[in-house]
Amino acid sequence: MGDQAVPARGNVLGSLVPARYILAVLGSIAMAIIYGLKVNLSVAMVAMLNHSALAHNAPLHTVSESHTAEPVCQGSNSSETVEDGPFVWSEPLQGTILSCYFWGYFVSQIPGARIAESFSAKWVMFFSVFINVLCTLLTPIAAELHWGAMVAMRIGEGIGGGVTFPAMHVMLASWAPPNERSVMSAIVYAGTALGTVISMLMAGVLAGSIGWESVFYVMGGLSCLWIVLWVWLAQDTPNKQSLISQEERTFITSSLGSEGSGHSGPKPAVPWKKVFTSGPFYGILIAHVCNNWGWYMLLIELPFYMKQVLQFNIKENAVVTALPFLTMWFFSMALSKTLDALRARGKINTTIARKTATLIASVIPMCCLLALCYIGCQRGIAVALMTIGITSIGGMFCGFLSNHIDIAPNYAGTLMAITNTAATLPGITVPIFVGQITHGNQTIGAWRVIFFVTIGLYIIEILGYSFLGSGEEQSWNKGDKSTNSAVENGDAEATPLNSKELKPTYTKQAE
């Protein structure tokens, strides 16, 4: 599609904040809203459930087997009255309600990516937040009607949530200069951590003080403010943005150069065969799927681990669950800035930067989970380990999660949609898996099994991305004419499934 430039009237905030960072902050808030509205149910559900009735309905065989299982921890709150809500949903049904978000998430990503690349990523993001806000506001009514209505609301939210990463990848490919790509990507995607923090804290306070219904009404209502700002301040490309200085517009478009997202002319068709025979693509795919298992296990299930095993009450649960995501936000900002600075000085190339960040996001949480398996009921150490592990996962934002834009900026949205669709499977599987393992067996031993499975997947991620990952633009980014374009531009071609580093002259140009 063509990209007709509109007159640049100057940045809405003058010289204080560049227009590209206004977009990044708005994108970060959008991701915070999407993740906040996704995880609030994980916290609110603790207050929604009738724990006394569920304990009474527990399978009889668990009583006779209990002597062989490790007991749950006897924390400072173990003598408290159980916080009961109105719903008697079994552990498998709880897992189904939590996981059905990812049914919608799974089906919407690739169509959303193609719409964002071909028409408008701005309006795809608008749709995403709007449908999440609507379904959130309707959640209390749906819960009272029937658990099936809850499933419908969660699927609706998932449909909206599924298009966010592909759409933002399309916008970042058009707005982020290569040397600022890690920082801008981290700002945008670290919003997921910030949204998790705010949501868990708000949900815990609201559910414990006012009632579980307030979680959805308050958070859904506040999110409406973003919709107005996004329509006013966001545009798909710098050339379509009037609220920008001519100097900044020229800087962005000139720095992107030939690796821009192709808005100056018709976008070539996706070279599917080359994509699915590309080693760097499979490196991202492996990392995304395996890391998402650990991410979703901690994101969705951590409140239940805190409640079932460590015996935190609803308010404490929210605090100890949310704080690690706040430290993740700070850590991801610092790491992305550090890696971009090292790249700008020529100390490391993009490949090393992406692999370093990805290793941090996998090795450290893997070690923390391994330690968690053997510390028993030491609640302070358990919280510290989970804080360190979740914090380090923030490396994914400037690691493999930014890597699609490096290897093929023309198809960044589509590549993100493909890998994120596959990485949605853990989101569907984790709640059901945890629900089945802990059904009638809410003990440290049961959670140890869950943690060991996660550790195994982290090992696969480390090996797969270390061997296959690359930060260099692939020749097929130019579409069917990739070979000719590579020769004309002096680009070295990375052979499929055996990607090599490009020439130093190209690396400097790309970065």
| Residue 77 pLDDT | 47
Name the phi and psi angles at 49, rounded to 5. Answer: -85, 145
**Which carries the bigger pLDDT value, residue 158 or residue 322?**
158
Q: CA 149, CA 47: separation in Å to the nearest integer?
A: 19
CA–CA distance, 136 with 36 (Å, rounded to integer): 11
Q: How confident is the model at residue 339 (pLDDT cuts 50, 70, 90)?
A: very high
The answer to whether residue 7 scores a pLDDT higher than 50 is yes
Query: Residue 495, SS3?
Result: strand
Greatest alpha-carbon span in the chain: 76
Q: Check: CB of residue 184 under 8 Å from CB of residue 171.
A: no
Confidence band (pLDDT; 50, 70, 90) for 401?
very high
What's the CA gap between 201 and 182, in Å, rounded? 28
Q: Measured between alpha carbons, how far is 170 from 350 in angstroms, rounded to an integer? A: 19
Q: CA dihedral in degrees (427, 430, 432, 438; nearest 10)?
A: -150
The pLDDT of residue 23 is above 70: yes
Q: What is the pLDDT of residue 484?
A: 42
Average pLDDT over residues 40-55: 79
CA separation for the pair 170, 410 (Å, rounded) = 8
Task: Dihedral sign for Cα 52, 54, 60, 66, please.
Answer: negative
Cβ atoms within 10 Å of 170's Cβ, excluding its own: 33
Q: What percent of the chain has pLDDT over 70?
A: 82
What pLDDT digit, counting tens, does each position of 68-89 carry? 445 556 654 444 444 677 888 8
- In this structure, what are the phi and psi dihedrals at residue 69, rounded to the nearest 5 degrees? -95, 155
β-partners of residue 498 are 495
Name the pLDDT band for 22 (thresholds 50, 70, 90): very high
pLDDT tops 70 at residue 489:
no
Give the contacts of 247 (CB within 8 A, at least 6 positions apart): none
Under the banding of pLDDT at 50, 70 and 90, the label for residue 510 is: very low
- Tokens found for residue 344: 């700008």
The residue whose two tokens read 């610092």 is 334
| pLDDT at residue number 440 | 74
CB neighbour list of residue 380: distance below 8 Å, 6 or more residues apart: none
Tell me the average pLDDT of the chain.
Answer: 82
Higher-confidence residue of 249 and 310: namely 249
Q: Are 349 and 501 in contact (CB under 8 A)?
A: yes
**Residue environment code for 357-396, b if the CB has 16+ CB neighbours within 10 A, otherwise e:** bbbbbbbbbbbbbbbbbeeebebeebbebbbbbbbbbbbb
Judged against a pLDDT cut of 80, whether residue 134 lies above it is answered with: yes
- The per-residue pLDDT for 67 is 40
Q: Which structural domains are found in the chain, ordered by start?
A: 19-56+82-236+274-471 (1.20.1250.20)
Q: Helix, strand, coil proportions of the chain in percent (round to 5)?
A: 75, 0, 25
Residue length of the chain: 511
The band of 483, judged by pLDDT with boundaries at 50, 70 and 90, is very low
**DSSP state letter for 163:** T
pLDDT of residue 375: 81
Q: 443: closest CA among 432, 451, 454?
A: 451
Per-residue pLDDT of 135-190, as tens digits, reads: 999 999 999 999 899 999 999 999 999 999 999 999 999 999 988 888 999 899 98
Read off the DSSP letter of residue 498. Answer: B
Number of CB atoms found within 10 A of residue 15's CB:
10
CB-count burial class (<10 Å; 0-12, 13-18, 19+) for 69:
middle
| Among candidate residues 361, 44, 355, 419, the one with its CA nearest the CA of residue 193 | 361
Query: How far is Cα 23 from Cα 184, in angstroms, rounded to an integer?
Result: 9
Residue pair 211/86 in contact by the 8 Å Cβ criterion = no
Judged against a pLDDT cut of 80, whether residue 429 lies above it is answered with yes
| pLDDT for position 66 | 42
Query: What number is the average pLDDT over the span 27-45?
Result: 90
- Provide the pLDDT confidence category of residue 314 given band limits of 50, 70 and 90: low
Task: Examine the pLDDT at 29 and tell me if it is beyond 90.
Answer: yes
- As given in the structure block, the two tokens for residue 334 are 């610092």
- CA-closest candidate to residue 313, choices 95, 72, 45, 78: 78
Give the pLDDT score at 298.
77
Residue 374 confidence (pLDDT): 85
- Write the pLDDT tens digit of every residue in 209-229: 888 899 999 999 999 999 999
Task: Give the whole-number percent of the chain exceeding pLDDT 90.
Answer: 45
Q: Which residues contact 351 (CB under 8 A, 6 or more apart)?
A: 469, 470, 471, 472, 501
pTM of the model: 0.76
215 vs 487, residue with greater confidence: 215
- Give residue 91's Cα distance to chain centre: 25
pLDDT at 304 over 90: no
DSSP 437-462: HHTT--SHHHHHHHHHHHHHHHHHHH
Is the Cα dihedral 437, 443, 446, 450 positive or negative? positive
At 266 the pLDDT is 54
Q: Is the dihedral of CA 32, 37, 40, 42 positive or negative?
A: negative
Q: Which amino acid is at 437?
A: I
Q: Residue 188 to residues 31, 332, 333: CA-CA distances in angstroms? A: 7, 11, 10
Residue 234: CA count within 13 A, CB half-sphere? 27
Q: pLDDT band at residue 10, thresholds of 50, 70 and 90?
A: confident
Residue with the bigger pLDDT between 417 and 69: it is 417
